[in-house]
Chain A
């Protein structure tokens, strides 16, 4: 009975798509839940009682989701963690055993690669939802839209990692990006937030248009839109066919790399990153730093290794590896040097995320020469996701309404006044710096090992130098927290109380510590998840 149910193609199809369906349906339900609720804001209810237009303190119309961030955050977190759990279940059964999902190929490829990324982005999204559950009410951002948008952005990220066709790739990319633009501009009364959203939107759509033109050129050169088909067609080109199309394919490659490097936030396509990260509400910043970046790297790997896997394009002399190596080196050096000079911790973390994009790109470059490189990139992204969200979460916990902890000075003496929050902060920063026994250490270790295996010694040396530079500004936070006292009269950070943020930090800390002590299970998973493995 049970076996016949499991062998039915319809059920297997639902099971294979369950991580994506969970987010899609869950997001729709959350939208309705948000719209059909009543705002729980005292002055809004009073206004409604006397029949007046419900208006907030700034004369704005009160949103239906106002004051309900806690319940909506719980809903979003449940949906996103359910997506993560479905991914794990699908992983254990094995996506290759769920053949029914071939019906949605090549638009969505349900392989171990996409299931791995589905888990990582759902985990990141879930933690970001919990952070927002604490942050939004504390800072009086009464926008219930945040949570359905977050779910749909994560859905886009999931679909992006699974996209096996230029069409679904573009639609997934825009699903993710359009939601994030809104999440950045959520604080509607803040000039900074709206400037950040505007900048991010303009440059983001510009990059998307460049990518799209690249996609059209690929279609023109090969007559295919599925990534595998394009890859085969390029590999089959030779002689006259190649002569006429080589330029077209190279332009397409360049445009796709530029577009995706932009989404990752790598130098020299990083101009938007610091402003957008600083102007956005902190949970959004965390989400952008992890889920958007992770999904963009996933699709970059798939594009490079499936479409441009041809040895003429993947070689060191004529292909993409030197370009990506340049991007990696520039990202690390420029981001690390500027990060060290920042006054604002949030902006420092923004530059640090650019530097981490550089480390990830070292691994991506190494995929051209080393078999372990792909797994090291996947593992790095997992460790980076939990460490970064933890750091942003701890930064959220350090501030209150109208007293958000921003600068190093704000954090002076924090360790003595609030040991638990400071300890968590230190822990995540140590992981970002790559010190054992944390997840970040093994992330860097495997990427550098893969690069050594690929005989890219100079990249490893540059990466190590940058790790040391990076350690400087992470440790500077610790110095301020534990060894400085706030100047007299200076506004110092009073931590907020929030069960949601605390829960998110505990989850992130479990992962950081677990991956730091027992990296083997996750590494094996990453090895199993590689493309073409």
Chain B
């Protein structure tokens, strides 16, 4: 029972982090902050998975799941940053002179 309580604490913390991420995503307008909020949400899920894995033990499904989430999150950031960069680059070319646009 004592163990259960500990797991619940972790899950509560994970839920809090997830909420912080979700609120951050909804309220902030800076794209990079929104991207970070999504990362926060994904990492809170990792925490929950590992905590639940402690509770259930067995086949280590939760830990394995967390590994995959980490890898997918990295790929997601790669794609996301590329899209964000492209967006900023285009907006910059709209607003500034030609020399700036040809820099990269």
Direct contact of A and B (CB under 8 A): yes
Q: Given that A174-B75, A174-B76 are known contacts, is A181 also in contact with B21, CB under 8 Å in the complex?
A: no
Contact check, A212 vs B45: say whether CB atoms are below 8 A apart: yes
Cβ contact within 8 Å between A170 and B86: no
Docked-complex contact A213 and B38, CB < 8 angstroms = no
| Cross-chain contact B44 with A213 (CB below 8 angstroms) | yes
Interface centre among B14, B62, B82, B86 (most CB of A within 10 A): B86
Check A166 for interface membership: any CB of B closer than 8 A. yes
B65 touches A209 (CB 8 A): no
A191 touches B91 (CB 8 A): yes
Please determine whether B65 and A219 come into contact, CB atoms closer than 8 angstroms: yes
If the complex has contacts A171-B72, A178-B75, A219-B65, are A201 and B83 also in contact, measured as CB distance less than 8 A? yes
One digit per residue, 1 when the CB lies within 8 angstroms of any chain A CB and 0 when it does not, for chain B 70-99 equals: 001001100110111011001100100000
Q: How far is the CA of A188 from the CA of B45 in the complex (A)?
A: 33
Among B34, B38, B65, point to the contact of A225 (Cβ < 8 A).
B65
Are A224 and B61 closer than 8 Å at their CB atoms? Answer: yes
Contact of B79 among A178, A217, A219 (CB under 8 A): A178
A167 beta carbon closer than 8 Å to chain B: yes
How many whole Å from A422's CB to the nearest CB in chain B?
35
A216–B10 alpha-carbon span in the complex (Å):
13
Q: A268-290 CB contact bits vs B (8 Å, 1 = yes)? A: 00000000000000000000000
Given contact pairs A174-B75, A174-B76, A219-B52, A167 touches B87 in the complex (Cβ within 8 A): no
Q: How far is the CA of A166 from the CA of B31 in the complex (A)?
A: 29
Alpha-carbon distance between A205 and B51 when the two chains are bound, in angstroms: 23
Chain A residues near B41 (CB-CB < 8 A) = 206, 209-210, 212-213
Is A216 a contact of B79 with CB atoms below 8 Å?
Answer: no
Residues of A within 8 A of B49 (CB): 216, 219
B68:A167 contact, CB within 8 angstroms? yes
From A174, A194, A217, A223, B90 is in contact (CB under 8 Å) with: A194
Chain B residue with minimal CB distance to A184? B83
B18 to A: closest C-beta gap in Å: 6
Determine whether A328 belongs to the interface, using a CB cutoff of 8 Å to chain B: no
- Cβ–Cβ contact B80 & A205, under 8 A: yes
- Cβ of A471 within 8 Å of any chain B Cβ, yes or no, is no
In the complex the two chains form, is B76's CB within 8 Å of A178's CB? yes
User: Judging by beta carbons under 8 Å apart, are A223 and B42 in contact?
Assistant: no
**Closest chain A CB from B60 CB (angstroms):** 11
Asked if A194 and B83 make an inter-chain contact with CB atoms under 8 angstroms apart, the answer reads: yes
CB distance from B27 to the nearest CB of A (A): 13
B56 within 8 A of A: yes
Report B-chain residues with C-beta under 8 Å of the C-beta of A202: 25, 31, 34-35, 38, 80
A-B contact count (CB 8 A): 109
B68 touches A191 (CB 8 A): no
Within the complex, the shortest CB–CB distance from A270 to chain B, in Å, comes to 17
Q: How far is the CB of A307 from chain B (nearest CB, A)?
A: 15
Contacts of A185 in B (CB 8 A): 83, 86
User: Which partner residue on chain B sits nearest A209 by CB separation?
Assistant: B41
Instruction: Report if A220-B11 is in contact (Cβ < 8 Å); known contacts: A171-B72, A178-B75, A212-B45.
Output: yes
Instruction: Verify if B3 is at the interface (C-beta below 8 Å from A).
Output: no
Contact pattern, A 174-194, Cβ under 8 Å of B = 1, otherwise 0: 100010011001001111001
**B56 and A223 contacting across the interface, CB-CB below 8 Å:** yes
- Tell me which of A166, A194, A224 contacts B87 (CB under 8 A): A194
Q: Is the CB of A171 within 8 A of B102?
A: no
Given A167-B68, A219-B61, answer yes or no on A213-B52 (Cβ-Cβ < 8 Å): no
Q: Does A532 contact B (CB under 8 A)?
A: no
Whether A188 contacts B86 by the Cβ 8 Å rule is: yes
Known: A198-B31, A213-B18. A167 touches B64 (CB 8 A): yes
Do B87 and A216 touch across chains, with their CB atoms under 8 A apart? no
As a 0/1 sequence over residues 103 to 119 of chain A, the CB contacts with chain B under 8 angstroms (1 = contact) are: 00000000000000000
- A195–B44 Cα distance when bound, in Å, is 28
What CA separation (Å) do A198 and B18 show in the bound complex?
Answer: 22
B47-64 interface bits toward A, Cβ cutoff 8 Å, 1 = contact, 0 = none = 011011001101001101
Asked if A223 and B79 sit within 8 Å, CB to CB, the answer is no
Contacts of A224 in B (CB 8 A): 61
- Which B residues touch A215, using CB under 8 A? 45, 65
B90 to nearest A CB, angstroms?
A: 5
Chain B residues closer than 8 Å to A174, beta-carbon distance: 72, 75-76
A206 to B90, CA, bound (A): 24
Task: Give chain B residues whose Cβ lies under 8 Å from the Cβ of A188.
Answer: 86
Which residues from B are CB-within-8-Å of A227? Answer: none
CA of A215 to CA of B79, assembled, Å: 23
Taking the closest CB of chain A, its distance from the CB of B10, in whole angstroms, is: 10
10 sample A-B contacts, Cβ–Cβ < 8 Å, listed by A number: A59-B101, A174-B72, A182-B83, A185-B86, A197-B86, A201-B80, A208-B76, A219-B62, A220-B48, A220-B52
**Interface contacts beyond A194-B83, A220-B52: sample of 14 additional A-B pairs, CB < 8 Å, sorted by A:** A170-B72, A174-B72, A182-B83, A185-B83, A190-B90, A201-B79, A202-B34, A205-B76, A206-B41, A209-B18, A209-B41, A216-B52, A219-B61, A223-B58
Q: Which 9 A-B pairs have the closest CB atoms?
A: A223-B56, A220-B52, A209-B41, A216-B48, A194-B87, A225-B61, A174-B72, A205-B38, A212-B45
